[in-house]
Amino acid sequence: IFGFVNGLAVIIFMSQLTQFKTPTGEWMTGDSLYMLLGLVALTMLIIWGLPKLSKALPASLIAILVIFAVVVTFNIDTKTVGDIASIKGGFPPFHIPEIPFTLETLKLIFPYALIMAGVGLIESLLTLNIVDEITETRGHGNKEAVAQGAANIVSGFFSGMGGCAMIGQSLINTSAGARARLSGIVAAVMLLVFIMFGSGLIEKLPMAALTGLMIMVSIGTFEWASFSTINRMPNSDIFVMVLVTLVTVFLHNLALAVIVGVIIAALVFAWDNAKRIRARKRIDEDGVKHYEIYGPLFFGSVTVFNEKFDVLNDPEEIIIDFAESRVVDMSAIEALNKITERYSKVGKKVHLQHLSKDCIALLENAEAIIDVNVLEDPKYKLAVDNI
């Protein structure tokens, strides 16, 4: 999560740098640059300092209003929202998308829809996790996912684009004191009202105020604690965090960044757990050798597991005790089958003991392809004294 959030914060910051360029793509110079920098700095100062004085009013809203007032009062020539895009007022009309409902259309749309849905769900759930940490509450990921899907379907009938929960806007919302779903509803309603009746006013807002606001959002989004804890983090975690950050920043592909991070983290987890499997050996009074296995037995640990046994020098009967272990997957089942075959070839017998219910279920499902002996665990009955 650190890598994803840090990468997202860097993207938010870098996207604001375009405001410091001219329409021809060159960096601004002279008085226009200094004026823009001053307004951005003033916006950031208000957002940073106002909450320290009073939290009665949202600092981000006050900052935008102050910068707007300064620009209007002193007639400052600076870039506005209207210079970037024109906001069309009016309620979005209902319509049914005019596309052919054919297999070819599905083949064209499905890959992009899958990527968008994946990115939207990932970012929404990460946003939910961050908001939960800030508000010390617990959200419902399933409800959020269903609601987001339903909202995107409905918005498509009103010429709307697909959307998802955004970390930046959510942080602005929570920093303004929002703690309930009502804040999101109010934000949506007010956005509709401004578009329908106040589009001209929105177009006059200086971009410097919005740029300063989003820079503060990127600063707040970045997990600065990752620097202080990096010396205490495992090297594998550091590698995953840096890699996910770089993929997010340079490829701008959030879905790919998360997938890469999950795959590498899973491989690291498998590697670490593969090295943790151990076996304690003992021979009981009947001459039966016990192998007490510790740690999970899965595809990553089967090689180490097989090295624990001394087939040639072991006695005639062997018990493998799984009281402190679990058989996780079919690779582990196959490993048990092979170790049984190795002992069987030299005329020795292997028994499995203390298997958990899910391990027994795996063995039962694979009974057609393996041949192992499972010892019944003893069942103890409770003696009741009726005296």
State how far the Cα of 169 lies from the Cα of 310, in Å rounded to an integer: 62
SS3 state of residue 71: helix
The yes-or-no verdict on residue 373 having pLDDT over 70 is no
Task: Say how many C-beta atoms besides its own lie within 10 A of residue 57's C-beta.
Answer: 13
Whose tokens are 């790919």? That residue is 256
Amino acid 129 reads N
Q: Quick one: what percent of the chain has pLDDT higher than 70?
A: 93
What is residue 374's predicted lDDT score, i.e. its pLDDT?
A: 64
> Span 15-43, mean pLDDT?
89
> Tens digit of pLDDT for each residue in 255-281?
678 788 888 888 888 888 888 889 999
Q: Are 38 and 67 in contact (CB under 8 A)?
A: no
State how far the Cα of 321 lies from the Cα of 350, in Å rounded to an integer: 11
- Model's pTM, two decimal places? 0.68
Mean predicted lDDT score pLDDT of the chain: 83
> Tens digit of pLDDT for each residue in 222-243?
888 778 777 787 888 888 888 8
Please report which confidence band the pLDDT of residue 387 belongs to, taking 50, 70 and 90 as the band edges: very low
Q: Tell me which of 272 and 348 has the higher pLDDT.
A: 348
The yes-or-no verdict on residue 56 having pLDDT over 90 is no
What is residue 36's predicted lDDT score, i.e. its pLDDT?
A: 92
- Domain positions in the chain are 1-85+180-223, 90-165, 278-374
What is residue 331's predicted lDDT score, i.e. its pLDDT?
A: 87
Among 58, 195, 82, 87, which Cα is nearest to 66's? 58
Q: List the beta strands (DSSP E) in the chain.
A: 278-283, 289-294, 317-324, 349-353, 373-374
Under DSSP, the state recorded for 327 is B
What is residue 378's predicted lDDT score, i.e. its pLDDT?
A: 47
Q: Are 118 and 256 in contact (CB under 8 A)?
A: no
> Tens digit of pLDDT for each residue in 148-163?
999 999 988 888 888 8
The yes-or-no verdict on residue 381 having pLDDT over 60 is no
Sign of CA dihedral 115, 118, 121, 124: negative
> Span 79-84, mean pLDDT?
86
Amino acid 12 reads I
Please report which confidence band the pLDDT of residue 25 belongs to, taking 50, 70 and 90 as the band edges: confident
The yes-or-no verdict on residue 1 having pLDDT over 80 is no
The yes-or-no verdict on residue 167 having pLDDT over 80 is no
Phi, psi of 366 (to 5 degrees): -105, 15
Contacts with 37 (C-beta within 8 Å, 6 or more apart), sequence order: none
**3-state secondary structure labels for all residues of 202-265:** HHCCEHHHHHHHHHHHHHHHCCCHHHHCHHHCCHHHHHHHHHHHHHHHHHCCHHHHHHHHHHHH
End-to-end CA distance of the chain: 62
The yes-or-no verdict on residue 306 having pLDDT over 80 is yes
Q: Are 61 and 51 in contact (CB under 8 A)?
A: no
As given in the structure block, the two tokens for residue 283 are 């021979």
Amino acid 59 reads A
> Span 123-147, mean pLDDT?
84
The yes-or-no verdict on residue 305 having pLDDT over 60 is yes
Q: Are 322 and 305 in contact (CB under 8 A)?
A: no
As given in the structure block, the two tokens for residue 101 are 């409902």
Q: Are 6 and 222 in contact (CB under 8 A)?
A: yes
H-run or E-run covering 213 = helix 207-221
278-374 folds as Transcription Regulator spoIIAA (3.30.750)
The yes-or-no verdict on residue 112 having pLDDT over 90 is no
> Span 283-291, mean pLDDT?
90
Q: Are 3 and 240 in contact (CB under 8 A)?
A: yes
Please report which confidence band the pLDDT of residue 64 belongs to, taking 50, 70 and 90 as the band edges: very high
> Tens digit of pLDDT for each residue in 175-224?
777 888 888 888 889 888 888 888 888 888 999 999 999 999 888 878 88
Q: Quick one: what percent of the chain has pLDDT higher than 90?
A: 16
State how far the Cα of 279 lies from the Cα of 319, in Å rounded to an integer: 12
